[in-house]
Amino acid sequence: MTVTVEALDELVTALRTVLADDQILTSKTDRYNRARVPAPFPVHRWSERLPDLAVLPTSTEQVAGVVRIANELRVPVVPRDGGTGLTDGAVPLRGGIVVDVKRMNQVKELDLENRTVTVGTGISMLKLNEQLAKHDLFYPDDPASYPCSLVGGRIGTSGWSLIGSRYGHSRDLVLSFDHVLPTGEVMHVGDGIGHKISKSSSGYQLKHLFMGHQGTLGIATEATLKLFPKPEAELSPFWAFDNYDDAYRCVGALARAGVATFAGAVLFDEWKVAYLRRDDEAYIPQPNDVRALVCAVMYGYEDEVRPAGKRLFRIAKDHGARYLGDEISEGDWAARHDRYATPLHGRTKAGQVVPMSWHCEDAAVNYTNLPSVSRAWHEIVADLRRRTDVFDDWGMFTYTSGSTGVDYLTEIDVGIWEQQLDDRAWEMWVKAKRDIAAVALAHNGSISACHGSCREGEVDLVPQELGRGFDVMLDLKRTLDPNNIMNPGKYLLDRAYETGPHA
Protein backbone atom coordinates (compact mmCIF):
# COMPACT_ATOMS: atom_id res chain seq x y z
CA MET A 1 0.00 0.00 0.00
CA THR A 2 1.41 3.30 -1.01
CA VAL A 3 -1.62 5.31 -0.11
CA THR A 4 -2.84 5.82 3.45
CA VAL A 5 -6.46 5.20 4.36
CA GLU A 6 -7.27 8.91 4.42
CA ALA A 7 -5.51 9.48 1.11
CA LEU A 8 -7.42 6.54 -0.35
CA ASP A 9 -10.71 8.11 0.72
CA GLU A 10 -9.67 11.38 -0.87
CA LEU A 11 -8.70 9.53 -4.03
CA VAL A 12 -11.98 7.65 -4.25
CA THR A 13 -13.93 10.84 -3.65
CA ALA A 14 -12.02 12.53 -6.44
CA LEU A 15 -12.49 9.57 -8.79
CA ARG A 16 -16.23 9.69 -8.20
CA THR A 17 -16.27 13.00 -10.04
CA VAL A 18 -15.35 11.18 -13.27
CA LEU A 19 -16.53 7.61 -12.73
CA ALA A 20 -19.65 5.83 -11.52
CA ASP A 21 -19.41 3.71 -8.38
CA ASP A 22 -19.37 0.41 -10.25
CA GLN A 23 -16.30 1.61 -12.15
CA ILE A 24 -14.21 1.94 -8.99
CA LEU A 25 -13.12 -1.35 -7.48
CA THR A 26 -11.51 -1.48 -4.08
CA SER A 27 -12.12 -4.97 -2.75
CA LYS A 28 -9.27 -7.29 -1.98
CA THR A 29 -10.16 -9.79 -4.70
CA ASP A 30 -10.41 -6.98 -7.25
CA ARG A 31 -6.91 -5.90 -6.28
CA TYR A 32 -5.36 -9.36 -6.09
CA ASN A 33 -6.71 -10.30 -9.49
CA ARG A 34 -5.16 -7.22 -11.03
CA ALA A 35 -1.76 -7.89 -9.57
CA ARG A 36 -1.20 -10.91 -11.65
CA VAL A 37 -0.07 -11.84 -15.14
CA PRO A 38 0.93 -15.27 -16.43
CA ALA A 39 4.66 -14.80 -15.80
CA PRO A 40 5.70 -16.67 -12.68
CA PHE A 41 6.42 -14.76 -9.54
CA PRO A 42 7.00 -16.05 -6.03
CA VAL A 43 3.38 -16.22 -4.91
CA HIS A 44 4.41 -15.75 -1.31
CA ARG A 45 5.18 -12.17 -2.31
CA TRP A 46 1.91 -11.53 -4.14
CA SER A 47 0.80 -8.88 -1.67
CA GLU A 48 3.80 -6.72 -2.54
CA ARG A 49 2.35 -5.90 -5.91
CA LEU A 50 -1.21 -4.92 -5.17
CA PRO A 51 -2.83 -1.79 -6.50
CA ASP A 52 -4.78 0.34 -4.04
CA LEU A 53 -7.74 0.19 -6.36
CA ALA A 54 -8.74 -0.51 -9.93
CA VAL A 55 -10.94 1.53 -12.25
CA LEU A 56 -12.90 0.46 -15.32
CA PRO A 57 -13.28 3.54 -17.53
CA THR A 58 -15.39 3.49 -20.68
CA SER A 59 -14.08 6.51 -22.60
CA THR A 60 -10.98 8.53 -23.37
CA GLU A 61 -12.41 11.38 -21.30
CA GLN A 62 -12.76 9.14 -18.27
CA VAL A 63 -9.22 7.83 -18.64
CA ALA A 64 -7.96 11.39 -18.96
CA GLY A 65 -9.97 12.40 -15.88
CA VAL A 66 -8.50 9.55 -13.82
CA VAL A 67 -4.94 10.33 -14.92
CA ARG A 68 -5.38 14.03 -14.21
CA ILE A 69 -6.53 13.25 -10.68
CA ALA A 70 -3.69 10.80 -10.16
CA ASN A 71 -1.20 13.36 -11.38
CA GLU A 72 -2.56 15.99 -9.03
CA LEU A 73 -2.53 13.62 -6.08
CA ARG A 74 0.79 12.00 -7.14
CA VAL A 75 -0.71 8.51 -7.18
CA PRO A 76 0.82 5.83 -9.43
CA VAL A 77 -1.20 4.72 -12.47
CA VAL A 78 -0.77 1.33 -14.12
CA PRO A 79 -2.50 0.65 -17.46
CA ARG A 80 -3.85 -2.86 -17.74
CA ASP A 81 -5.55 -4.55 -20.64
CA GLY A 82 -5.57 -8.31 -21.17
CA GLY A 83 -3.14 -8.84 -18.32
CA THR A 84 -1.28 -11.42 -20.41
CA GLY A 85 1.99 -9.52 -20.67
CA LEU A 86 5.00 -11.62 -19.74
CA THR A 87 7.25 -8.96 -18.28
CA ASP A 88 4.86 -7.85 -15.54
CA GLY A 89 4.20 -4.54 -17.28
CA ALA A 90 0.61 -4.47 -16.07
CA VAL A 91 1.52 -5.37 -12.51
CA PRO A 92 1.80 -2.46 -10.09
CA LEU A 93 5.10 -2.11 -8.26
CA ARG A 94 4.10 0.88 -6.14
CA GLY A 95 0.38 0.41 -5.57
CA GLY A 96 -1.84 3.15 -6.91
CA ILE A 97 -4.56 2.89 -9.52
CA VAL A 98 -4.84 0.12 -12.08
CA VAL A 99 -6.59 1.58 -15.11
CA ASP A 100 -8.21 -1.48 -16.62
CA VAL A 101 -9.36 -0.56 -20.12
CA LYS A 102 -11.30 -3.75 -20.90
CA ARG A 103 -14.63 -1.94 -20.99
CA MET A 104 -13.44 0.14 -23.91
CA ASN A 105 -14.05 -2.65 -26.38
CA GLN A 106 -16.32 -1.18 -29.03
CA VAL A 107 -15.83 -1.14 -32.74
CA LYS A 108 -16.27 2.58 -33.45
CA GLU A 109 -15.82 2.84 -37.17
CA LEU A 110 -15.29 0.38 -39.96
CA ASP A 111 -14.00 2.04 -43.13
CA LEU A 112 -14.35 -0.46 -45.94
CA GLU A 113 -12.91 1.85 -48.58
CA ASN A 114 -9.69 2.80 -46.83
CA ARG A 115 -9.55 -0.57 -45.13
CA THR A 116 -9.31 0.55 -41.53
CA VAL A 117 -11.17 -0.07 -38.34
CA THR A 118 -11.25 2.12 -35.26
CA VAL A 119 -11.69 0.34 -31.94
CA GLY A 120 -11.54 0.85 -28.22
CA THR A 121 -8.24 -0.58 -26.98
CA GLY A 122 -9.97 -3.09 -24.70
CA ILE A 123 -11.12 -5.27 -27.59
CA SER A 124 -9.53 -8.62 -28.38
CA MET A 125 -8.28 -9.46 -31.84
CA LEU A 126 -10.41 -12.59 -31.81
CA LYS A 127 -13.64 -10.68 -31.19
CA LEU A 128 -12.67 -8.01 -33.67
CA ASN A 129 -12.01 -10.60 -36.34
CA GLU A 130 -15.37 -12.25 -35.68
CA GLN A 131 -16.96 -8.95 -36.67
CA LEU A 132 -14.63 -8.33 -39.59
CA ALA A 133 -15.23 -11.80 -41.02
CA LYS A 134 -18.66 -10.67 -42.23
CA HIS A 135 -16.85 -8.27 -44.55
CA ASP A 136 -14.19 -10.80 -45.59
CA LEU A 137 -11.57 -8.78 -43.82
CA PHE A 138 -9.16 -9.50 -40.99
CA TYR A 139 -6.79 -7.81 -38.65
CA PRO A 140 -3.64 -9.94 -38.78
CA ASP A 141 -2.06 -9.26 -35.40
CA ASP A 142 -1.74 -12.87 -34.35
CA PRO A 143 0.35 -13.50 -31.26
CA ALA A 144 0.18 -16.89 -29.58
CA SER A 145 -1.95 -15.01 -27.06
CA TYR A 146 -4.47 -14.14 -29.78
CA PRO A 147 -7.53 -15.28 -27.77
CA CYS A 148 -6.57 -13.32 -24.66
CA SER A 149 -4.34 -10.31 -25.30
CA LEU A 150 -6.07 -7.07 -26.26
CA VAL A 151 -5.29 -4.20 -28.59
CA GLY A 152 -4.16 -1.79 -25.85
CA GLY A 153 -1.70 -4.31 -24.48
CA ARG A 154 -0.41 -4.92 -27.99
CA ILE A 155 0.32 -1.20 -28.19
CA GLY A 156 1.78 -1.15 -24.69
CA THR A 157 4.22 -3.94 -25.55
CA SER A 158 4.62 -3.31 -29.29
CA GLY A 159 3.98 -7.01 -29.64
CA TRP A 160 5.05 -9.55 -32.20
CA SER A 161 2.75 -11.48 -34.53
CA LEU A 162 3.24 -15.09 -35.64
CA ILE A 163 2.38 -14.12 -39.19
CA GLY A 164 4.31 -10.87 -39.09
CA SER A 165 6.68 -11.83 -41.90
CA ARG A 166 3.83 -11.19 -44.26
CA TYR A 167 1.63 -8.61 -42.54
CA GLY A 168 3.97 -6.87 -40.14
CA HIS A 169 3.71 -6.64 -36.35
CA SER A 170 1.58 -4.51 -34.03
CA ARG A 171 3.62 -1.40 -34.75
CA ASP A 172 2.98 -1.75 -38.49
CA LEU A 173 -0.67 -2.66 -38.11
CA VAL A 174 -1.70 0.06 -35.68
CA LEU A 175 -1.98 3.20 -37.78
CA SER A 176 -2.70 5.64 -35.02
CA PHE A 177 -4.32 6.04 -31.64
CA ASP A 178 -5.74 8.43 -29.09
CA HIS A 179 -3.44 8.54 -26.13
CA VAL A 180 -3.72 10.00 -22.65
CA LEU A 181 -0.42 11.50 -21.53
CA PRO A 182 0.76 11.16 -17.91
CA THR A 183 -0.53 14.63 -17.19
CA GLY A 184 -4.01 13.75 -18.38
CA GLU A 185 -3.77 15.63 -21.67
CA VAL A 186 -5.04 13.78 -24.73
CA MET A 187 -2.98 13.57 -27.91
CA HIS A 188 -3.32 11.71 -31.16
CA VAL A 189 -0.36 9.50 -32.00
CA GLY A 190 0.36 8.36 -35.54
CA ASP A 191 1.74 9.31 -38.89
CA GLY A 192 0.13 12.64 -39.65
CA ILE A 193 -3.01 13.68 -37.84
CA GLY A 194 -5.51 12.10 -40.20
CA HIS A 195 -5.86 8.92 -38.13
CA LYS A 196 -5.64 6.70 -41.20
CA ILE A 197 -2.28 7.68 -42.69
CA SER A 198 0.24 4.83 -42.92
CA LYS A 199 3.37 6.83 -43.73
CA SER A 200 4.21 10.45 -43.26
CA SER A 201 7.43 12.35 -43.14
CA SER A 202 6.41 15.41 -41.24
CA GLY A 203 7.96 15.95 -37.86
CA TYR A 204 9.47 13.45 -35.48
CA GLN A 205 8.13 9.93 -35.79
CA LEU A 206 6.39 9.62 -32.46
CA LYS A 207 4.43 6.43 -33.05
CA HIS A 208 7.31 4.19 -32.09
CA LEU A 209 7.87 6.17 -28.92
CA PHE A 210 4.31 5.64 -27.77
CA MET A 211 4.30 1.93 -28.50
CA GLY A 212 6.16 -0.60 -26.42
CA HIS A 213 6.70 1.72 -23.46
CA GLN A 214 4.83 -0.69 -21.17
CA GLY A 215 2.47 1.93 -19.95
CA THR A 216 5.20 4.26 -18.73
CA LEU A 217 4.25 7.09 -21.08
CA GLY A 218 0.46 7.04 -20.90
CA ILE A 219 -2.59 5.10 -21.99
CA ALA A 220 -3.84 4.38 -25.51
CA THR A 221 -7.63 4.50 -25.58
CA GLU A 222 -8.83 4.27 -29.18
CA ALA A 223 -6.85 2.84 -32.07
CA THR A 224 -7.17 2.81 -35.84
CA LEU A 225 -5.95 -0.40 -37.40
CA LYS A 226 -4.98 -1.53 -40.87
CA LEU A 227 -7.09 -4.33 -42.41
CA PHE A 228 -6.39 -7.02 -44.99
CA PRO A 229 -8.53 -9.38 -47.05
CA LYS A 230 -9.32 -12.48 -45.07
CA PRO A 231 -6.96 -15.08 -46.51
CA GLU A 232 -8.64 -17.61 -48.70
CA ALA A 233 -5.94 -20.21 -48.18
CA GLU A 234 -3.55 -21.10 -45.44
CA LEU A 235 -0.70 -23.55 -45.91
CA SER A 236 1.34 -24.60 -42.92
CA PRO A 237 3.58 -27.59 -43.62
CA PHE A 238 5.41 -29.18 -40.69
CA TRP A 239 8.65 -30.96 -41.48
CA ALA A 240 10.74 -33.26 -39.31
CA PHE A 241 14.53 -33.48 -39.27
CA ASP A 242 16.90 -35.93 -37.70
CA ASN A 243 19.28 -33.18 -36.64
CA TYR A 244 19.18 -29.54 -35.65
CA ASP A 245 21.74 -28.29 -38.13
CA ASP A 246 19.75 -29.33 -41.19
CA ALA A 247 16.59 -27.85 -39.72
CA TYR A 248 18.39 -24.60 -38.98
CA ARG A 249 19.73 -24.35 -42.53
CA CYS A 250 16.30 -25.16 -43.90
CA VAL A 251 14.58 -22.36 -41.98
CA GLY A 252 17.14 -19.88 -43.25
CA ALA A 253 16.64 -21.01 -46.83
CA LEU A 254 12.84 -20.81 -46.56
CA ALA A 255 12.99 -17.28 -45.19
CA ARG A 256 15.46 -16.10 -47.78
CA ALA A 257 13.45 -17.50 -50.68
CA GLY A 258 11.46 -14.25 -50.93
CA VAL A 259 8.07 -15.86 -51.43
CA ALA A 260 5.40 -13.16 -51.23
CA THR A 261 2.78 -15.19 -49.36
CA PHE A 262 5.36 -16.34 -46.81
CA ALA A 263 4.01 -15.34 -43.40
CA GLY A 264 6.59 -16.98 -41.18
CA ALA A 265 8.78 -19.98 -40.42
CA VAL A 266 9.44 -21.62 -37.08
CA LEU A 267 12.22 -23.87 -35.87
CA PHE A 268 11.69 -26.14 -32.86
CA ASP A 269 14.98 -27.34 -31.42
CA GLU A 270 15.94 -30.70 -29.85
CA TRP A 271 14.92 -29.60 -26.38
CA LYS A 272 11.53 -28.49 -27.63
CA VAL A 273 11.02 -31.81 -29.38
CA ALA A 274 12.01 -33.68 -26.20
CA TYR A 275 9.46 -31.53 -24.34
CA LEU A 276 6.69 -32.18 -26.85
CA ARG A 277 7.51 -35.85 -26.75
CA ARG A 278 6.34 -35.95 -23.13
CA ASP A 279 2.79 -35.93 -24.36
CA ASP A 280 2.72 -37.65 -27.65
CA GLU A 281 -0.96 -38.28 -27.25
CA ALA A 282 -1.62 -34.57 -27.13
CA TYR A 283 0.85 -33.45 -29.71
CA ILE A 284 2.72 -34.67 -32.72
CA PRO A 285 3.48 -38.36 -32.35
CA GLN A 286 7.11 -38.32 -33.29
CA PRO A 287 9.36 -41.22 -34.09
CA ASN A 288 12.53 -41.21 -32.02
CA ASP A 289 14.72 -40.01 -34.83
CA VAL A 290 12.88 -36.72 -34.99
CA ARG A 291 15.21 -34.18 -33.41
CA ALA A 292 14.00 -30.88 -34.79
CA LEU A 293 10.89 -29.53 -36.49
CA VAL A 294 10.29 -26.75 -38.94
CA CYS A 295 6.99 -25.14 -39.88
CA ALA A 296 6.46 -22.63 -42.63
CA VAL A 297 3.28 -20.65 -43.01
CA MET A 298 1.78 -19.11 -46.11
CA TYR A 299 -1.34 -16.97 -46.31
CA GLY A 300 -3.08 -15.66 -49.40
CA TYR A 301 -5.29 -16.63 -52.30
CA GLU A 302 -5.51 -20.27 -53.27
CA ASP A 303 -3.82 -19.64 -56.61
CA GLU A 304 -0.82 -17.91 -55.10
CA VAL A 305 -0.36 -20.09 -52.03
CA ARG A 306 -0.29 -23.36 -53.94
CA PRO A 307 2.67 -22.70 -56.28
CA ALA A 308 4.51 -20.89 -53.50
CA GLY A 309 4.01 -23.95 -51.33
CA LYS A 310 5.58 -26.12 -54.02
CA ARG A 311 8.67 -23.99 -53.96
CA LEU A 312 8.99 -24.18 -50.19
CA PHE A 313 8.43 -27.94 -50.24
CA ARG A 314 11.27 -28.23 -52.74
CA ILE A 315 13.58 -26.19 -50.54
CA ALA A 316 12.69 -28.25 -47.49
CA LYS A 317 13.30 -31.50 -49.31
CA ASP A 318 16.71 -30.30 -50.42
CA HIS A 319 17.57 -29.79 -46.78
CA GLY A 320 16.63 -33.29 -45.66
CA ALA A 321 13.11 -32.58 -44.42
CA ARG A 322 10.46 -35.22 -43.95
CA TYR A 323 6.92 -33.89 -44.41
CA LEU A 324 4.70 -34.83 -41.48
CA GLY A 325 1.49 -34.90 -43.50
CA ASP A 326 -1.54 -32.67 -43.92
CA GLU A 327 -3.29 -33.74 -40.78
CA ILE A 328 -0.46 -32.98 -38.40
CA SER A 329 0.46 -29.80 -40.24
CA GLU A 330 -3.02 -28.34 -40.26
CA GLY A 331 -3.88 -29.46 -36.75
CA ASP A 332 -0.70 -28.25 -35.26
CA TRP A 333 -0.82 -24.84 -36.84
CA ALA A 334 -4.47 -24.52 -35.85
CA ALA A 335 -3.37 -25.19 -32.28
CA ARG A 336 -0.65 -22.57 -32.51
CA HIS A 337 -2.17 -20.50 -29.75
CA ASP A 338 -3.07 -23.23 -27.31
CA ARG A 339 0.30 -24.86 -27.69
CA TYR A 340 1.88 -22.19 -25.58
CA ALA A 341 -0.64 -22.55 -22.94
CA THR A 342 -0.58 -26.00 -21.48
CA PRO A 343 1.29 -25.96 -18.23
CA LEU A 344 1.03 -29.66 -17.61
CA HIS A 345 4.43 -30.69 -18.72
CA GLY A 346 6.33 -29.58 -15.68
CA ARG A 347 8.45 -32.47 -14.57
CA THR A 348 11.22 -33.13 -12.16
CA LYS A 349 14.34 -34.70 -13.58
CA ALA A 350 13.14 -38.05 -12.31
CA GLY A 351 9.91 -37.61 -14.25
CA GLN A 352 7.36 -36.64 -11.59
CA VAL A 353 4.66 -34.34 -13.00
CA VAL A 354 4.22 -31.13 -11.03
CA PRO A 355 2.24 -27.96 -11.74
CA MET A 356 4.56 -25.46 -13.32
CA SER A 357 4.19 -22.00 -14.78
CA TRP A 358 5.43 -21.09 -18.17
CA HIS A 359 8.12 -18.50 -18.45
CA CYS A 360 9.41 -17.34 -21.76
CA GLU A 361 12.53 -15.27 -22.35
CA ASP A 362 12.53 -13.70 -25.78
CA ALA A 363 15.21 -11.93 -27.76
CA ALA A 364 15.77 -10.69 -31.29
CA VAL A 365 18.81 -12.44 -32.72
CA ASN A 366 20.33 -12.47 -36.19
CA TYR A 367 20.06 -15.68 -38.14
CA THR A 368 23.77 -16.38 -38.07
CA ASN A 369 23.89 -16.24 -34.27
CA LEU A 370 20.96 -18.55 -33.52
CA PRO A 371 22.90 -21.79 -32.89
CA SER A 372 25.34 -20.27 -30.48
CA VAL A 373 22.65 -18.32 -28.58
CA SER A 374 20.61 -21.53 -28.26
CA ARG A 375 23.53 -23.47 -26.87
CA ALA A 376 24.39 -20.78 -24.34
CA TRP A 377 20.78 -20.36 -23.17
CA HIS A 378 20.21 -24.06 -22.68
CA GLU A 379 23.39 -24.27 -20.65
CA ILE A 380 22.15 -21.48 -18.35
CA VAL A 381 18.91 -23.39 -17.75
CA ALA A 382 20.76 -26.72 -17.40
CA ASP A 383 22.74 -25.14 -14.64
CA LEU A 384 19.58 -24.17 -12.79
CA ARG A 385 18.21 -27.65 -13.26
CA ARG A 386 21.32 -29.26 -11.90
CA ARG A 387 20.68 -27.40 -8.66
CA THR A 388 16.93 -27.79 -8.33
CA ASP A 389 13.78 -29.25 -9.84
CA VAL A 390 12.09 -25.86 -9.49
CA PHE A 391 13.16 -25.28 -13.11
CA ASP A 392 12.46 -27.31 -16.20
CA ASP A 393 13.76 -26.75 -19.75
CA TRP A 394 10.84 -26.66 -22.18
CA GLY A 395 12.97 -26.02 -25.22
CA MET A 396 13.28 -23.25 -27.74
CA PHE A 397 11.45 -21.80 -30.71
CA THR A 398 12.88 -19.43 -33.21
CA TYR A 399 10.50 -17.60 -35.52
CA THR A 400 11.27 -15.36 -38.44
CA SER A 401 10.53 -11.76 -37.51
CA GLY A 402 10.56 -10.22 -40.97
CA SER A 403 10.11 -11.31 -44.55
CA THR A 404 13.82 -11.47 -45.34
CA GLY A 405 14.98 -13.62 -42.44
CA VAL A 406 17.41 -11.05 -41.12
CA ASP A 407 16.58 -11.68 -37.49
CA TYR A 408 14.49 -14.08 -35.46
CA LEU A 409 12.30 -13.97 -32.43
CA THR A 410 14.22 -16.36 -30.25
CA GLU A 411 12.61 -17.73 -27.17
CA ILE A 412 13.43 -20.23 -24.51
CA ASP A 413 10.55 -21.65 -22.52
CA VAL A 414 11.25 -22.50 -18.92
CA GLY A 415 8.88 -24.33 -16.62
CA ILE A 416 8.89 -22.91 -13.12
CA TRP A 417 7.44 -24.69 -10.12
CA GLU A 418 6.06 -21.50 -8.70
CA GLN A 419 4.68 -23.11 -5.56
CA GLN A 420 8.30 -23.81 -4.59
CA LEU A 421 9.63 -20.45 -5.64
CA ASP A 422 11.09 -19.06 -2.43
CA ASP A 423 13.45 -16.10 -2.17
CA ARG A 424 16.50 -18.25 -2.88
CA ALA A 425 15.05 -19.81 -6.01
CA TRP A 426 13.87 -16.41 -7.14
CA GLU A 427 17.40 -15.03 -6.81
CA MET A 428 18.74 -17.90 -8.88
CA TRP A 429 16.16 -17.21 -11.52
CA VAL A 430 16.75 -13.47 -11.66
CA LYS A 431 20.44 -14.11 -12.15
CA ALA A 432 19.70 -16.61 -14.89
CA LYS A 433 17.51 -14.07 -16.65
CA ARG A 434 20.30 -11.53 -16.48
CA ASP A 435 22.69 -14.10 -17.96
CA ILE A 436 20.23 -14.95 -20.71
CA ALA A 437 19.90 -11.27 -21.62
CA ALA A 438 23.68 -10.88 -21.56
CA VAL A 439 24.05 -13.70 -24.08
CA ALA A 440 21.65 -11.93 -26.44
CA LEU A 441 23.61 -8.69 -26.15
CA ALA A 442 26.95 -10.44 -26.58
CA HIS A 443 25.60 -11.66 -29.92
CA ASN A 444 24.52 -8.17 -30.99
CA GLY A 445 20.90 -9.07 -30.41
CA SER A 446 18.17 -7.27 -28.53
CA ILE A 447 16.95 -8.44 -25.13
CA SER A 448 13.38 -8.58 -26.35
CA ALA A 449 11.63 -8.93 -29.69
CA CYS A 450 8.09 -8.83 -28.36
CA HIS A 451 7.37 -8.90 -24.66
CA GLY A 452 9.50 -6.00 -23.55
CA SER A 453 12.19 -6.26 -20.93
CA CYS A 454 11.09 -4.52 -17.79
CA ARG A 455 11.31 -7.34 -15.30
CA GLU A 456 13.87 -7.87 -12.62
CA GLY A 457 16.88 -9.52 -14.23
CA GLU A 458 16.83 -8.52 -17.87
CA VAL A 459 15.88 -4.92 -17.16
CA ASP A 460 19.29 -4.41 -15.56
CA LEU A 461 20.87 -4.71 -18.98
CA VAL A 462 18.59 -2.32 -20.82
CA PRO A 463 20.91 0.69 -20.30
CA GLN A 464 23.71 -1.41 -21.74
CA GLU A 465 21.66 -2.34 -24.79
CA LEU A 466 20.53 1.22 -25.49
CA GLY A 467 23.67 3.14 -24.48
CA ARG A 468 23.15 6.87 -24.97
CA GLY A 469 19.63 6.05 -26.06
CA PHE A 470 18.77 5.11 -22.49
CA ASP A 471 19.55 8.66 -21.35
CA VAL A 472 17.21 9.94 -24.03
CA MET A 473 14.57 7.66 -22.54
CA LEU A 474 15.16 9.24 -19.15
CA ASP A 475 14.92 12.75 -20.61
CA LEU A 476 11.66 11.92 -22.36
CA LYS A 477 10.20 10.28 -19.29
CA ARG A 478 10.99 13.30 -17.11
CA THR A 479 9.49 15.67 -19.64
CA LEU A 480 6.32 13.75 -20.33
CA ASP A 481 5.71 12.48 -16.81
CA PRO A 482 7.04 15.17 -14.48
CA ASN A 483 5.69 13.46 -11.36
CA ASN A 484 6.62 9.88 -12.24
CA ILE A 485 3.09 8.61 -11.92
CA MET A 486 2.88 6.38 -15.01
CA ASN A 487 3.76 2.83 -14.10
CA PRO A 488 6.63 3.84 -11.83
CA GLY A 489 9.46 1.42 -11.17
CA LYS A 490 9.42 -0.05 -14.66
CA TYR A 491 12.37 0.10 -17.06
CA LEU A 492 14.63 1.68 -14.42
CA LEU A 493 12.99 4.97 -15.33
CA ASP A 494 13.04 6.08 -11.72
CA ARG A 495 16.60 7.15 -12.51
CA ALA A 496 15.08 10.04 -14.42
CA TYR A 497 14.09 11.57 -11.12
CA GLU A 498 17.21 10.87 -9.10
CA THR A 499 19.60 13.66 -8.46
CA GLY A 500 22.96 13.03 -10.06
CA PRO A 501 24.22 12.82 -13.59
CA HIS A 502 20.76 12.28 -15.07
CA ALA A 503 18.88 14.94 -13.10
Ligand X SMILES: Cc1cc2nc3c(=O)[nH]c(=O)nc-3n(C[C@H](O)[C@H](O)[C@H](O)COP(=O)(O)OP(=O)(O)OC[C@H]3O[C@@H](n4cnc5c(N)ncnc54)[C@H](O)[C@@H]3O)c2cc1C
Under rule CB under 8 A, which residues in 31-60 are in contact with another protein?
32-34, 36-38, 40, 43-44, 46-47, 56
Tell me how far apart the alpha carbons of residues 56 and 459 are, in angstroms, rounded to a whole number: 29
Our finding on whether 106 is near ligand X (CB under 6 A) is: no
One of 390, 437, 462, 473 touching another protein (CB under 8 A): 390
Tell me how far apart the alpha carbons of residues 266 and 269 are, in angstroms, rounded to a whole number: 10
x-marked contacts with another protein along 418-447 as a string, rule CB under 8 A = xxx-x-xx--x-------------------
Shortest spacing between CB 223 and ligand X, in angstroms: 9
Q: Of 239, 375, 247, whose CA–CA distance to 309 is shortest?
A: 239
Alpha-carbon separation of residue 71 from 77, 200, 487 (angstroms): 9, 32, 12
3-state SS assignment for residue 428: helix
Site for another protein in 230-259 (CB under 8 A): none
Alpha-carbon separation of residue 187 from 96, 214, 317 (angstroms): 23, 18, 52
231 binds, among another protein, ligand X, none (CB under 5 to 8 A by kind): none
Site for another protein in 100-129 (CB under 8 A): 100, 102-103, 105, 122, 124, 126-127
Site for another protein in 130-169 (CB under 8 A): 145, 147-148
Shortest spacing between CB 148 and another protein, in angstroms: 5
One of 125, 137, 155, 254 touching ligand X (CB under 6 A): 155
Alpha-carbon separation of residue 379 from 30, 273, 373, 374, 466 (angstroms): 40, 17, 10, 9, 26
- Stretch binding another protein (CB under 8 A), from 160-168, 404-412, 413-421, 438-446: 413-421
Q: How many helices (H) and strands (E) does the chain have?
A: 15, 19
x-marked contacts with ligand X along 18-47 as a string, rule CB under 6 A = -------------------xx---------
3-state SS assignment for residue 360: strand
Task: Report the phi/psi class of residue 405: left, alpha or beta, with left for phi > 0 and alpha for psi in -120 to 50.
Answer: left
Our finding on whether 214 is near ligand X (CB under 6 A) is: yes
Q: What is the DSSP letter of 12?
A: H
Tell me how far apart the alpha carbons of residues 335 and 340 are, in angstroms, rounded to a whole number: 9
Smaller CB separation from another protein, 223 or 384: 384
Our finding on whether 159 is near ligand X (CB under 6 A) is: yes
Q: Are 344 and 283 in contact (CB under 8 A)?
A: no
One of 220, 356, 412, 473 touching another protein (CB under 8 A): 356
Site for another protein in 358-377 (CB under 8 A): 358
Our finding on whether 190 is near ligand X (CB under 6 A) is: no
One of 208, 349, 431, 502 touching another protein (CB under 8 A): 349
One of 13, 205, 342, 479 touching another protein (CB under 8 A): 342
Q: Are 397 and 268 in contact (CB under 8 A)?
A: yes
Half-sphere exposure of 373 (CA within 13 A, CB side): 32
Q: Are 276 and 286 in contact (CB under 8 A)?
A: yes
Query: Which positions lie near ligand X, rule CB under 6 A?
Result: 37-38, 78-86, 89-90, 101, 121, 143-145, 149-150, 152-157, 159-160, 162, 214-215, 219-220, 340-341, 450-451, 487
